[in-house]
Structure 1
């Protein structure tokens, strides 16, 4: 249940939506098996799987857990190209002429349509945390694109959704560079990890370092040469650690041992559904407490007007 990544979004003017009304709306866009002609599909699925009896919304103390299922057929371009090349060769040999580009395009579309039903299906479950008190949404996705796909699904489900990526007054790349270069600038309960990505202002590329002392002379010399920290591993007093990205994404999330132990010792009666909900609420409470502190360290939140959606 514990999220590995987090892309954060601010909700604007969100209407009150009871949990049962949200459940009904999600049911209208529930995930269905891919049809033979479908390349991909996205729909809502039960966060607890079969354990939850199809329940699509888990709401605990104003924190909601939703899950989307992304299904995609895997049809490598090399397989399609090989089949196209073979058929083109057959046509040219039998008819004694060159196949035109337009014909190749038509062949490619035809072959793709024929092979698609036989392609393997890859499924990925993507979880969404919705803090209804602070009107914050966090999506456990490895990329911003995947997170935006889930927001599009939620927008389609609700009819409208005014939301913007969470942003701060101080750019993360500027704050991370300052923290890295000046130990005195770091908040009292912020600790550096052992991973960093340094970008050059010119065309000198990106330097990535893992399992290194970020206060070492080598790192300081790179900063003095003009490089900036675009990713930085940090922790908050041992409660939460992650790699902060320059777009405010949190990657490689790890929750503190004390929190994990609290979850392990919770009295859930060996009920898997109760265990999922216990893990979720402990995680959600930790995130809702620590994310505002991170934003405060970044100079506070930027007030952004959402585009009409």
Structure 2
């Protein structure tokens, strides 16, 4: 249940649905396994897994949804090899070269024939919806997959206006400044040991893991004009993560204190209670962490900052 990655979106003008109404519309887009000729399918599934049918868990203003994505994996090399074999057979029997359009038609035929026999890959993608903050976070590594889940939610609700969360100060600029100037770091920010630096030109990317980011070598790279596109950070006593230049958060590790609190909660050996306990604790940590991160970055883009 504990998220590893987070693609964050600001929610605008969300449809007003209570838990019962939302559960109903989610059911209309419930996941069904792939049919024989389908390449991919996406639908809602129970966050608790096969032992439960509840598609929505809502606790203290936080909503948990889970999408399941299935896709048939048909390697391009397999299709190409089959097309070549069939094309060669036709050319030999008819004594001529196949035209380009004939090869394209043959490729489509091969793909349709092989698709039902292809391996099926399944992926579960969790979505956290903070109703009070009007914030949505999708737990997956790929921005493309996150957008697919949002498209499913949009189709489910009938309308959904979201935009990627953005900050007043660009993450790349802030991360570079935090590396270059220790005095610019917020009091509760701890620099980790992982970084990715990009140059403005075509000088490639420098990546470092388990390195001292306050070293002279790092300062020389920054002085040469490189900027931080990824940086390992820690909110002291809360969680650690790698911040990306598009405000994506990856490699999340929750603090021992948060994990201990979850472990000590009495769930009565009920898997559903355990899921909900972990989720609400995690959601609270994520919510306050996003607030802190935006504060570090000068607030959210498009919002007027109050004078201090």
Question: TM class by shorter-chain length?
Answer: over 0.9
3-state SS of the aligned residue for 2:240? strand
Distance between the aligned counterparts of 1:264 and 1:15, measured in 2?
35
Q: Does 1:103 align with 2:122?
A: no
Counterpart of 2:10? 10
3-state SS of the aligned residue for 1:152? helix
Q: Are the counterparts in 2 of residues 51 and 272 from structure 1 also a CA contact under 8 Å?
A: no
Q: How far does residue 51 in structure 1 lie from its aligned partner after superposition?
A: 3.0
Q: Are the counterparts in 2 of residues 230 and 245 from structure 1 also a CA contact under 8 Å?
A: yes
Q: Are the counterparts in 2 of residues 51 and 273 from structure 1 also a CA contact under 8 Å?
A: no
3-state SS of the aligned residue for 2:194? strand
Counterpart of 1:307? none
Q: Are the counterparts in 1 of residues 241 and 253 from structure 2 also a CA contact under 8 Å?
A: yes
3-state SS of the aligned residue for 2:150? helix
Q: Are the counterparts in 1 of residues 68 and 123 from structure 2 also a CA contact under 8 Å?
A: yes
Q: Does 1:204 align with 2:203?
A: yes
Counterpart of 2:256? 257
3-state SS of the aligned residue for 1:128? strand
Write the deviation string for residues 205-248 of structure 1: whole angstroms up to 9, x where unpaired. 11110000110111110000000000000000031110000000
Counterpart of 1:40? 40
Q: Are the counterparts in 2 of residues 25 and 157 from structure 1 also a CA contact under 8 Å?
A: yes
Q: What CA RMSD, in Å, does the superposition of the two structures yield over aligned residues?
A: 0.8
Write the deviation string for residues 59-115 of structure 1: whole angstroms up to 9, x where unpaired. 011100000000000000000000000001111111110011111100000000000
Q: How far does residue 141 in structure 1 lie from its aligned partner after superposition?
A: 1.0
Q: How far does residue 14 in structure 1 lie from its aligned partner after superposition?
A: 1.7
3-state SS of the aligned residue for 2:9? strand
Number of residue pairs aligned between Structure 1 and Structure 2 = 303
3-state SS of the aligned residue for 1:51? coil
Q: Is there any run of 5+ residues in structure 1 with no aligned partner, and where?
A: 305-309
Q: For residues 1-309 of structure 1, what are the structure 2 equivalents within 5 Å?
A: 1-52=1-52, 54-303=53-302
Distance between the aligned counterparts of 1:70 and 1:220, measured in 2?
44
3-state SS of the aligned residue for 1:49? coil
Distance between the aligned counterparts of 1:255 and 1:205, measured in 2?
32
Distance between the aligned counterparts of 1:89 and 1:303, measured in 2?
61
Q: How far does residue 13 in structure 1 lie from its aligned partner after superposition?
A: 1.7
Q: How far does residue 50 in structure 1 lie from its aligned partner after superposition?
A: 2.4
Distance between the aligned counterparts of 2:302 and 2:274, measured in 1?
37
Distance between the aligned counterparts of 2:67 and 2:198, measured in 1?
34
Deviating 4+ runs (over 6 angstroms):
none
Distance between the aligned counterparts of 1:68 and 1:15, measured in 2?
19
Distance between the aligned counterparts of 1:144 and 1:16, measured in 2?
26
Q: Is there any run of 5+ residues in structure 2 with no aligned partner, and where?
A: 304-308
Q: TM-score, normalised by structure 2?
A: 0.97
Write the deviation string for residues 248-273 of structure 1: whole angstroms up to 9, x where unpaired. 00000110001101111110011111
Distance between the aligned counterparts of 1:275 and 1:219, measured in 2?
44
Distance between the aligned counterparts of 1:276 and 1:168, measured in 2?
32
